[in-house]
Chain A
């Protein structure tokens, strides 16, 4: 079975401080991992996926198969980063974690 765990429900950080959202997964096969984001009053949308190995809006995420993790990081948080972030794992379907509410304090 595939499972995604995001341990912290709420994360408050000051503007300019680093942000790290933890995501751990369990899956026996080779995982495809994503981060989705939902800004206030907007739809859930893809932020980044591990196969792209790209940085989006300053965010990066590295897949660590040994630790079964896909943590999302940004060195300097901005106010516009305040949102709900979901880690997701795809096998035959997309399994989401419960999400992290990020609040960036000005």
Chain B
């Protein structure tokens, strides 16, 4: 167990809807990262927050947004959902904000858009 928790485990929703995925980092970790894993694209970095501030941005669609709260948990909001958004969404955390830091991954949230 990495200490990173994600809720919910599974989510099934319809196209056009909006969902929120939640991540709690390991105790003491300041950085949270979000990734999308799909069969064709592999593991894609979406966004990183460090101590409440956005630190790095990857291939995140404009329909998606994230934030990190003062207690360091993070939420990923996905709106106007499309079938292609069906994927496994991982969150990871690390102690610092640097790329050298080992990232600890959560179990993922499986999103199915129907």
CB within 8 Å of A: which B4-61 residues: 4, 33, 35, 41-45, 48, 56, 58
Q: Write out, one digit per residue, whether chain A residues 76-91 have a CB within 8 A of any chain B CB (1) or not (0).
A: 0000000000100011
CA distance A99 to B88 in the complex (A): 15
Are B105 and A44 closer than 8 Å at their CB atoms? yes
- Please tell me which one of the listed residues A43, A90, A97 contacts residue B107 in the complex, with CB atoms under 8 A apart: A43
Can you list 23 A-B pairs with a CB-CB distance of less than 8 A?
A: A32-B99, A32-B100, A43-B107, A43-B108, A44-B43, A44-B90, A45-B104, A46-B102, A46-B103, A49-B102, A51-B100, A92-B99, A93-B33, A93-B45, A94-B99, A95-B45, A96-B35, A96-B43, A96-B44, A97-B42, A98-B41, A98-B42, A99-B42
Query: Taking the nearest CB of chain B, how far is it from the CB of A65, in angstroms?
Result: 17
Given contacts A43-B2, A46-B103, A99-B42, list 5 more A-B pairs with CB under 8 A: A44-B43, A46-B102, A49-B102, A93-B48, A96-B45
Q: How many residues of B contact A (CB 8 A)?
A: 23
Contacts of B104 in A (CB 8 A): 45
CA distance A51 to B41 in the complex (A): 28
CB within 8 Å of B: which A4-50 residues: 32, 43-46, 49
- Please tell me which one of the listed residues A43, A46, A49, A86 contacts residue B43 in the complex, with CB atoms under 8 A apart: A86
Query: Taking the nearest CB of chain A, how far is it from the CB of B48, in angstroms?
Result: 6
Chain B's closest residue to A46 (CB) is B102
Contacts A96-B45, A99-B42 given; does A43 touch B105 at CB 8 Å: yes
CA distance A16 to B21 in the complex (A): 42
Are A43 and B106 closer than 8 Å at their CB atoms? yes
Contacts of A95 in B (CB 8 A): 45
Contacts of A32 in B (CB 8 A): 99-100
CA distance A86 to B45 in the complex (A): 13
Contacts A92-B99, A94-B33, A94-B103 given; does A45 touch B2 at CB 8 Å: yes
